[in-house]
Amino acid sequence: MKEFLYLAAFLAVALGIAHSVLGERYILVRLFRRDNLPKLFGSPEFTTRTLRFAWHITTVAWFGFGALLLHAGRGDLATSGTLQIIGITFIFSGLLPLFITRGKHLSWLVLFAIGGPQA
């Protein structure tokens, strides 16, 4: 059973990496070349930054799932450890909008509020 959980953890991380790398290369870059993106807050820059962090937040979530699967495979997944992994995942998720949108997308506040008490 633990081998399958380790494999699942590895696949979750690999999937996250592939999602981010391939998504940047084949979807986001091509999408951002369009000249008809919505102009949120006056320019398409906020739109592109929001789409970029929204795309990559999936990868952060899959990394968090990978960590949970890894700990489950080791047999040491307790409630406190689970909450800590969830908290760290939300903190890292909050870093994306904070840095990518330069704090303009306020979701980072909520993500930090969710992750802070557990991390």
- Give, in degrees to the nearest 5, the angle at Cα 41 between 38 and 43: 55
* Tens-place pLDDT, residues 58-75: 999 999 999 999 999 999
Q: Which of 29, 24, 83 is nearest to 58 (CA)?
A: 24
Q: Domain extents for the chain?
A: 2-115
Mean pLDDT of the chain: 94
Numbers of helices and strands, H then E, in the chain: 5, 0
Residue 100 has pLDDT above 70, yes or no: yes
Answer yes or no: is pLDDT of 94 > 70: yes
Q: Which residues of 20-49 are buried (b: 16+ CB within 10 A; e: fewer)?
A: beebeeeebeeeeeeeebeeeeeebbbbbb
Residue 119 has pLDDT above 70, yes or no: no
Q: What pLDDT is recorded for position 80?
A: 92
Residue 39: the pLDDT is 87
- pLDDT interval class at 118 (50, 70, 90): confident
Over residues 2-59, the pLDDT tens digits come to: 999 999 999 999 999 999 999 999 999 999 999 888 888 888 899 999 999 999 999 9
Residue 55's pLDDT is what? 97
**Residue 117: its pLDDT value, please?**
83
